[in-house]
């Protein structure tokens, strides 16, 4: 029960901060949050600790819990991504993630073709083929599961641990696009073929073709989603002196 209350408190406050309902600079008091959320002081304390670790709030003695601006948030945390995808800033979040993936995934595909273990190469081909079947059958939940697995294998197969640690962010992106109705029930045949092209190029060790096919996937993805971020402002992080 305590764990459930803790997660509910985090989700409530995180959602409100990222949506702007609790704007940057807003100050909250622990006792007020206790009354508002009907939870204990220990639950509030733990929720605030988590939100601090995400860069959403800071605590100041004799002041309270202050909401921090977007430039202080941890943009790589899956919870922050999930909350942003559920907010009016969805388009901006999709743009940032798409640009990150467009920079990383083609490079990861090239490295995977050079470095991935044989078992991973074979699984990637199997997953790509299963994606086609699930996509053609309109199995949305199954397709999402396979899509996440495909891109996770791609990042892992690069042999670059920093690329591999983007799996959670990519999973949140694909899940968010599905949850918010931004993925078709039947993926386009071209996109399905390009996933197979990436897998087969990696399987045979063709680094150039793997990178090119992955780049095609990401360019198409960005083109399809561009309307969601039209007029959405960018977040500029101050350079520390």
Selection from 64, 36, 48 nearest residue 6 by Cα: 48
78-229 and 2-72 share a CATH fold: no
Task: Answer whether 148's CB lies under 8 Å from 170's CB.
Answer: yes
Q: Which CATH architecture has domain 2-72?
A: Orthogonal Bundle (1.10)
Question: pTM of the entire structure?
Answer: 0.89
Instruction: Render pLDDT for 135-179 as a digit per residue (tens, 0 to 9).
Output: 999 999 999 999 999 999 999 999 999 999 999 999 999 999 999
Domain boundaries, the chain: 2-72, 78-229
- The fourth-level CATH superfamily of domain 78-229 is GntR ligand-binding domain-like (1.20.120.530)
Instruction: Render pLDDT for 26-46 as a digit per residue (tens, 0 to 9).
Output: 999 999 999 999 999 999 999
Range in 19-33, 75-89, 99-113, 224-238 with the lowest mean pLDDT: 224-238
What is the DSSP track for 31-73? HHHHHHHT--HHHHHHHHHHHHHTTSEEEETTTEEEEPPGGGS
Query: Residue 1: is its pLDDT beyond 60?
Result: no
Instruction: Render pLDDT for 61-101 as a digit per residue (tens, 0 to 9).
Output: 888 999 999 999 999 999 999 999 999 999 999 999 999 99
């Amino acid at each position: 029960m305590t764990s459930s209350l803790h997660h509910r408190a985090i989700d409530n406050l995180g959602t409100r901060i990222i949506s702007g309902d609790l704007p940057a600079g807003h100050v909250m008091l622990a006792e007020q949050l206790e009354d508002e959320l009907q939870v204990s002081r220990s639950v509030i304390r733990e929720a605030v600790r988590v939100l601090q670790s995400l860069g959403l709030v800071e605590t100041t003695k004799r002041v309270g819990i202050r909401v921090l601006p977007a430039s202080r948030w941890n943009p790589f945390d899956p919870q922050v991504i999930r909350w942003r995808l559920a907010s009016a800033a969805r388009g901006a979040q999709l743009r940032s993630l798409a640009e990150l993936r467009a920079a990383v995934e083609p490079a990861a595909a090239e490295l995977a073709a050079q470095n991935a273990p044989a078992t991973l190469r074979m699984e990637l081909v199997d997953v790509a083929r299963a994606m086609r079947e699930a996509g053609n059958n309109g199995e949305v939940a199954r397709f999402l599961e396979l899509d996440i697995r495909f891109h996770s294998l791609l990042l892992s197969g690069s042999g670059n641990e920093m690329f591999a640690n983007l799996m959670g962010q990519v999973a949140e992106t694909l899940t968010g696009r599905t949850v918010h109705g931004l993925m078709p029930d039947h993926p386009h045949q071209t996109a399905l073929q390009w996933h197979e092209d990436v897998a087969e190029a990696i399987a045979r060790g063709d680094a150039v073709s793997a990178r090119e096919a992955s780049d095609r996937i990401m360019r198409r993805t960005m083109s399809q989603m561009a309307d969601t971020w039209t007029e959405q402002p960018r977040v500029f992080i101050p350079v520390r002196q």
